[in-house]
């Protein structure tokens, strides 16, 4: 696919026009000052430094050296043999990278194995909701996060979004897997590999004229603030939506699900002083870092169209189900974000989903008898299942690997 469809760009023109030409060069709407207190973090304390000006001081110099030495091909070859949590880093890695990985793969002292096991069971029982929210919902939010959309678009992965989705699905599937943090799982491996990719992108992306032209003055991408924004577009957003859908949520399950993502955040290189300790702290931080930065960009509109087209083609050859996909995405993220992403309106399906989905959730949670569930709900559920199948299987045959270039010009 060469770019967004004409229909998608036209449907986005109203939202983009409201911001004018400035929105195409600005990384987001006005950013609020950092006031979130480190006392609300898993560390319970910290310097309180604005994460906008903090990156990854452990990973960044190591990956810069790997790239400048020309070691990326040999490192990627070696890392293909590293696939399980209980494996040591493979032989053949440069000593500085091996030392970094040995430290980075350790769980934090505050990790709770019992909570991680409960979170795995929670992921299994709530898989339909979580994969839909973290897949479609989180994906649509990510394209409405200007910095994230542009970092993806102008980096190497932006040139092949099918492969980019596949690589992203590796981490998403690892987090949600029943064996996630068990010895035979791979969430530690996938998270650390993702951290390496982020560090490589920080080194490479400033060389991209396309990114530099649209970065709004940011000189190094993927700050700790940017990582927090992305983090909240996944667990915090998912928890909000499940509560909105009235999914029964025992407090122990909610705490375990948060803990899963707290440990994952640590493995991704987010400092402990920025990782929220409670859902209340997460909500407060999300309101400060995620909500104010959502905005439209040309890159985000194009990426959204590619993602939704991939999904429609997966669920029905020829794209017959694209209207349903559009409406489902709109239902998940709301009209404002959907307009910014350039997702077309689909009146019939939007009304159908708004009516049927709450009843379907209630039925699945044994809160509503079957006769009250509209027949159309099963069509919607099947579309959701097809996306999950797409999301979880695209990673087969691919690997998270360190890039050595940006998106080709």
| 321 has pLDDT over 50 | yes
Of 43-52, 326-335, 383-392, minimum mean pLDDT range? 383-392
The structure's pTM equals 0.90
Q: Is the dihedral of CA 43, 44, 46, 50 positive or negative?
A: positive
Q: What is the pLDDT of residues 254-293, one digit of tens each?
A: 999 999 999 999 999 999 999 999 999 999 999 999 999 9
**Residue 41 — φ and ψ, nearest 5°?**
-100, 170
Q: Among candidates 213, 126, 101, which has minimal Cα distance to 388?
A: 126
Q: What is the pLDDT of residues 58-86, one digit of tens each?
A: 999 999 999 999 999 999 999 999 999 99
Burial-class residue 232 by CB neighbours within 10 Å (0-12, 13-18, 19+).
buried
Q: What is the pLDDT of residues 153-163, one digit of tens each?
A: 999 988 887 77
Q: Among candidates 191, 156, 155, which has minimal Cα distance to 173?
A: 191
């Amino acid at each position: 696919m060469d770019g967004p469809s004409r229909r998608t760009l036209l449907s986005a023109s109203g939202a983009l026009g409201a911001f004018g030409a400035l929105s195409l060069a600005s990384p987001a709407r006005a950013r609020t000052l950092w006031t979130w207190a480190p006392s609300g973090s898993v560390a319970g304390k910290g310097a309180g430094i604005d994460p906008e000006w903090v990156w990854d001081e452990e990973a960044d110099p190591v990956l810069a050296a790997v790239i400048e030495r020309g070691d990326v091909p040999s490192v990627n070859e070696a890392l293909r043999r590293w696939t399980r949590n209980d494996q040591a880093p493979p032989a053949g890695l440069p000593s500085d990278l091996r030392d970094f990985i040995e430290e980075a793969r350790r769980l934090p002292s505050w990790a709770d194995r019992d909570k991680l096991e409960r979170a795995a069971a929670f992921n299994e029982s709530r898989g339909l909701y979580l994969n839909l929210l973290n897949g479609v919902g989180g994906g649509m939010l990510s394209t409405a996060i200007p910095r994230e959309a542009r970092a993806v678009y102008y980096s190497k992965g932006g040139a092949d979004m099918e492969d980019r989705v596949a690589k992203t699905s590796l981490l998403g599937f690892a987090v949600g897997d029943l064996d996630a943090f068990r010895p035979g799982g791979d969430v530690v491996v996938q998270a650390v590999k993702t951290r390496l990719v982020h560090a490589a992108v920080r080194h490479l992306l400033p060389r991209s004229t396309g990114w530099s032209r649209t970065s709004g003055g940011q000189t190094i991408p993927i700050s700790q603030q940017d990582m927090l924004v992305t983090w909240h577009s996944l667990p915090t957003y998912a928890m909000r939506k499940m509560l909105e859908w009235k999914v029964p949520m025992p407090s122990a399950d909610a705490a375990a699900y948060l803990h899963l993502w707290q440990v994952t955040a640590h493995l991704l290189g987010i400092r402990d002083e920025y990782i929220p300790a409670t859902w209340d702290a997460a909500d407060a931080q999300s309101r400060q870092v995620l909500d104010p930065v959502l905005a439209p960009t040309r890159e985000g509109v194009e990426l959204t169209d590619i993602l939704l087209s991939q999904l429609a083609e997966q669920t029905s050859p020829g794209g017959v189900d694209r209207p349903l996909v559009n409406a489902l995405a709109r239902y998940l993220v709301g009209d404002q974000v959907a307009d910014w992403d350039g997702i077309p309106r689909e009146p019939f399906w939007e009304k159908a989903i708004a009516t049927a989905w709450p009843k379907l959730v209630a039925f699945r949670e044994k809160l509503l008898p079957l006769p009250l569930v509209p027949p159309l709900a099963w069509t919607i559920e099947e579309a959701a299942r097809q996306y999950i199948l797409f999301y979880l299987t695209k990673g087969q045959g691919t690997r998270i690997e360190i890039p050595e270039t940006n998106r080709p010009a």
